[in-house]
Amino acid sequence: MKKSNKKNILISGYYGFDNFGDEAILQTLVTKLKKSNCNITVLSSNPQKTSKNYDVDSIRSFNILKVVWNILKCNIFISGGGSLLQDVTSLKSLVYYLLLLNLALLSRKKVIIFAQGLGPFKNKRGAFWVKNTIKRCTYVSVRDKKSHYLLKKWGIKSDLVCDPFFDIPLPDANPQGIVGVQLRHTKTLNINYLKKLAQYICNNFKNEKIELYSFQDTLDLEVCKKFGEFLSENEIKYEIICGKTPLEIIEHISKLEYMVAMRFHAVLTAVRYGIKTLAISYDMKVEKFAEEFKIPCLNMRADDNFDKAFEALKQINTKNLFEQANEKKFNWQNLENIIG
């Protein structure tokens, strides 16, 4: 029997949790890898859904025996994208992702860190573990200057790339004058801030249709419902967009005229369409993105200037924003060279 020349690729990341950004990145990566004659397996918290959505093999992330077996039989182990290597979310998640990386390295596999953001780290141990793992990897790419600088400081070579989402083909824009609001749960988002934001949405867009976006229902949906209550108090009608696939969410966003958003990939999607966008930064990556594309940004602080932010939102040149966003292209070259 002729031996197959197909390479076995194992992908690890925050998959199967119905998180819009991570699922969209996985879609981009899988689409690219399928062009390279590969057998693809994805570690997921919901392997049945992942297998169905992307037409790949998938195993449960915490089925240790199967995970170890698939690491042993793979040729290439890919970790990413997203912000996996940090200890702010939890130390357990960092240990888990580092354990997988080190198992792959000990098994002498080619190991790729794919378009990740590193940190932040609450303690030096986390940073030390990450440094001593990444320096042994075959290829490292990061999606922000801070991570790139950190690796350079550690003496580790890496490529600075844009977010892979820039490589996803989007449906044509179909603006219908709708205002989108995308919110997520975070400790710094309190009720008073939500009420103030709702009041400004009501004051500025009282005659427009409002859509509230839940990008990950376990974290976003309750916040959207609470925000909707505040809109109702001002007799503003709204619709909650939830339980949708990434493609369905993108199709909704393609109809927007304005977007007020917290999540990085909500802001990114809107900007790619040239939609007038106001970012709300719960994470430095959102603030840095807003700076790069010169869109207004609130920081969830008591001194946020809502009047200035909403005025700047209305003044955005959509044509310039669209052109700037669509100049960015993801660089696949080094990844392709490794996969062969």
Share of the chain above pLDDT 70, in %: 99
**Of 138, 167, 196, which one is at a domain's C-terminal end?**
167
Q: Which of 200, 219, 207, 169 is nearest to 305 (CA)?
A: 200
**Of 132, 167, 202, which one is at a domain's C-terminal end?**
167
123 and 48: one domain?
yes
- Report the distance separating Cα 197 and Cα 212, nearest Å: 13
- Report the distance separating Cα 163 and Cα 299, nearest Å: 22
Residue 337 lies in a domain: no
101 and 149: one domain?
yes
Q: What is the identity of the amino acid at 224? A: C
Residue 334 lies in a domain: no
- Neighbouring-strand partners of residue 285: none
Mean pLDDT of 63-74: 97
Mean pLDDT, rounded, of the chain: 94
**Of 167, 187, 215, which one is at a domain's C-terminal end?**
167
Q: What is the pTM of this model?
A: 0.91
What's the start-to-end Cα distance of the chain, in Å? 24
Residue 282 lies in a domain: yes
Residue 12 lies in a domain: yes
163 and 17: one domain?
yes
88 and 196: one domain?
no
161 and 183: one domain?
no
Domain assignment of residue 240, given as a range: 178-325
> Is 111:138 a contact under the CB 8 Å cutoff?
yes
- Report the distance separating Cα 78 and Cα 13, nearest Å: 9
289 and 237: one domain?
yes
- How far CA 22 is from CA of 266, 278, 309, in Å, comes to 12, 22, 28
> Is 147:193 a contact under the CB 8 Å cutoff?
no
CA atoms within 13 A on the CB side of 31: 13
190 and 274: one domain?
yes
Residue 273 lies in a domain: yes
20 and 149: one domain?
yes
Residue 173 lies in a domain: no
Residue 204 lies in a domain: yes
Residue 333 lies in a domain: no
Q: How many beta carbons lie within 10 A of that of residue 337, not counting itself? A: 9
CATH of the domain at 307: 3.40.50.2000
252 and 134: one domain?
no
**Tens-place pLDDT, residues 96-109:** 999 999 999 999 99
pLDDT for 81 equals: 81
- Report the distance separating Cα 161 and Cα 251, nearest Å: 26
- Report the distance separating Cα 169 and Cα 140, nearest Å: 25
31 and 145: one domain?
yes
pLDDT for 340 equals: 81
156 and 195: one domain?
no
Band (4; pLDDT cuts 50, 70, 90): low
When divided into structural domains, the chain yields a total of: 2
Band (2; pLDDT cuts 50, 70, 90): very low
Band (83; pLDDT cuts 50, 70, 90): confident
140 and 277: one domain?
no
